[in-house]
Amino acid sequence: MPSSTHQSLLLWIARKMTADGFTVTACDGSIPQGGVWNSLPCTPAFAGIRPDACGVGADTGGIAFGEAKTSRDIDTPHTRHQLRVFRELIRQNGKALCRLYIAIPRSSAHSLDRVLCQWAARRQVCRTSIHPRLFCHK
Protein backbone atom coordinates (compact mmCIF):
# COMPACT_ATOMS: atom_id res chain seq x y z
CA MET A 1 0.00 0.00 0.00
CA PRO A 2 1.60 3.30 -1.08
CA SER A 3 2.08 5.94 1.63
CA SER A 4 0.24 9.26 1.63
CA THR A 5 3.56 10.97 0.82
CA HIS A 6 4.05 8.70 -2.20
CA GLN A 7 0.53 9.37 -3.46
CA SER A 8 0.90 13.15 -2.97
CA LEU A 9 4.05 13.01 -5.10
CA LEU A 10 2.09 11.05 -7.68
CA LEU A 11 -0.42 13.92 -7.79
CA TRP A 12 2.45 16.29 -8.70
CA ILE A 13 3.43 13.95 -11.53
CA ALA A 14 -0.12 13.76 -12.91
CA ARG A 15 -0.43 17.55 -12.78
CA LYS A 16 2.92 18.11 -14.51
CA MET A 17 2.24 15.50 -17.20
CA THR A 18 -1.08 17.21 -17.92
CA ALA A 19 0.55 20.66 -18.01
CA ASP A 20 3.08 19.30 -20.50
CA GLY A 21 0.31 18.14 -22.87
CA PHE A 22 0.05 14.49 -21.87
CA THR A 23 -3.21 12.78 -21.04
CA VAL A 24 -2.70 10.63 -17.96
CA THR A 25 -4.02 7.21 -18.96
CA ALA A 26 -3.19 5.10 -15.90
CA CYS A 27 -2.29 5.65 -12.22
CA ASP A 28 -1.30 3.30 -9.45
CA GLY A 29 -3.66 3.66 -6.49
CA SER A 30 -5.85 6.42 -5.16
CA ILE A 31 -4.43 9.95 -5.28
CA PRO A 32 -5.51 12.59 -2.73
CA GLN A 33 -7.41 15.30 -4.65
CA GLY A 34 -6.90 13.15 -7.75
CA GLY A 35 -10.42 13.59 -9.13
CA VAL A 36 -10.77 11.83 -12.47
CA TRP A 37 -7.28 10.31 -12.15
CA ASN A 38 -8.62 8.10 -9.34
CA SER A 39 -10.92 6.35 -11.81
CA LEU A 40 -8.10 5.38 -14.18
CA PRO A 41 -6.90 1.79 -14.51
CA CYS A 42 -3.68 0.59 -12.90
CA THR A 43 -0.55 1.11 -14.93
CA PRO A 44 0.63 -1.73 -17.16
CA ALA A 45 3.89 -3.56 -16.48
CA PHE A 46 6.90 -2.94 -18.72
CA ALA A 47 9.75 -5.44 -18.55
CA GLY A 48 8.65 -6.52 -15.09
CA ILE A 49 8.18 -3.05 -13.57
CA ARG A 50 5.01 -1.04 -13.11
CA PRO A 51 5.36 2.77 -13.25
CA ASP A 52 3.25 4.89 -10.92
CA ALA A 53 1.69 6.79 -13.85
CA CYS A 54 1.54 6.64 -17.64
CA GLY A 55 0.44 9.20 -20.15
CA VAL A 56 0.08 9.78 -23.88
CA GLY A 57 0.66 13.02 -25.77
CA ALA A 58 -2.41 13.68 -27.91
CA ASP A 59 -0.55 15.98 -30.30
CA THR A 60 2.75 14.12 -30.46
CA GLY A 61 1.82 10.50 -29.81
CA GLY A 62 4.60 10.53 -27.22
CA ILE A 63 4.46 8.50 -24.04
CA ALA A 64 5.30 9.49 -20.49
CA PHE A 65 6.09 7.46 -17.39
CA GLY A 66 5.98 8.78 -13.84
CA GLU A 67 7.66 7.54 -10.68
CA ALA A 68 7.01 8.94 -7.21
CA LYS A 69 9.91 8.30 -4.82
CA THR A 70 9.86 8.81 -1.09
CA SER A 71 13.14 9.54 0.68
CA ARG A 72 13.56 5.87 1.64
CA ASP A 73 12.96 4.66 -1.91
CA ILE A 74 15.44 6.70 -3.95
CA ASP A 75 18.84 5.05 -3.50
CA THR A 76 17.78 1.41 -3.79
CA PRO A 77 18.48 -1.49 -6.14
CA HIS A 78 14.79 -1.45 -7.13
CA THR A 79 14.97 2.20 -8.23
CA ARG A 80 18.18 1.57 -10.16
CA HIS A 81 16.49 -1.36 -11.93
CA GLN A 82 13.50 0.85 -12.77
CA LEU A 83 15.81 3.49 -14.22
CA ARG A 84 17.52 0.89 -16.40
CA VAL A 85 14.16 -0.31 -17.73
CA PHE A 86 12.91 3.24 -18.34
CA ARG A 87 16.19 4.12 -20.06
CA GLU A 88 15.72 1.21 -22.44
CA LEU A 89 12.11 2.24 -23.15
CA ILE A 90 13.25 5.81 -23.82
CA ARG A 91 15.99 4.58 -26.14
CA GLN A 92 13.59 2.32 -28.05
CA ASN A 93 10.93 5.02 -28.43
CA GLY A 94 13.17 8.01 -29.06
CA LYS A 95 13.93 10.82 -26.64
CA ALA A 96 11.42 13.17 -28.28
CA LEU A 97 8.61 10.63 -27.89
CA CYS A 98 9.21 9.37 -24.35
CA ARG A 99 9.54 11.21 -21.03
CA LEU A 100 10.25 10.04 -17.51
CA TYR A 101 8.93 12.12 -14.62
CA ILE A 102 10.30 11.56 -11.11
CA ALA A 103 8.74 13.32 -8.11
CA ILE A 104 10.56 13.39 -4.76
CA PRO A 105 10.39 15.25 -1.45
CA ARG A 106 12.45 18.44 -1.72
CA SER A 107 14.72 17.24 1.12
CA SER A 108 15.74 14.24 -1.01
CA ALA A 109 17.02 16.18 -4.02
CA HIS A 110 20.66 15.38 -3.22
CA SER A 111 19.96 11.63 -3.06
CA LEU A 112 18.16 11.68 -6.38
CA ASP A 113 20.91 13.78 -7.97
CA ARG A 114 23.48 11.22 -6.83
CA VAL A 115 21.51 8.30 -8.27
CA LEU A 116 20.78 10.14 -11.52
CA CYS A 117 24.40 11.21 -11.91
CA GLN A 118 25.51 7.58 -11.62
CA TRP A 119 22.81 6.57 -14.07
CA ALA A 120 23.53 9.46 -16.45
CA ALA A 121 27.32 9.12 -16.33
CA ARG A 122 27.07 5.64 -17.74
CA ARG A 123 24.33 6.38 -20.25
CA GLN A 124 24.75 10.10 -21.03
CA VAL A 125 21.27 11.04 -19.90
CA CYS A 126 20.15 14.65 -19.68
CA ARG A 127 18.09 15.70 -16.65
CA THR A 128 16.10 18.92 -16.61
CA SER A 129 14.80 20.43 -13.38
CA ILE A 130 11.07 21.10 -13.64
CA HIS A 131 10.06 21.94 -10.06
CA PRO A 132 11.99 21.80 -6.81
CA ARG A 133 10.43 18.40 -6.24
CA LEU A 134 9.86 17.15 -9.78
CA PHE A 135 12.39 16.11 -12.39
CA CYS A 136 11.76 15.08 -15.97
CA HIS A 137 14.05 13.24 -18.36
CA LYS A 138 13.46 14.55 -21.89
Q: Is the pLDDT of residue 125 over 50?
A: no
The mean of the pLDDT values for the chain is: 81
Q: Cβ of 50: how many Cβ atoms within 10 Å?
A: 13
Quick one: pLDDT at residue 98? 82
Domain with residue 128: its CATH number is: 3.40.1350
Q: Is the dihedral of CA 85, 86, 88, 93 positive or negative?
A: positive
Range of the domain at 108: 4-137
Q: Which helix (H) or strand (E) holds 118?
A: helix 109-123
pTM: 0.83
Note the pLDDT tens digit of each residue in 64-116. Answer: 899 999 889 999 999 999 988 888 877 776 656 788 898 888 888 888 888 88
> How many domains is the chain built from?
1
Give which of 122, 30, 110, 54 is closest to 83, Cα–Cα.
122
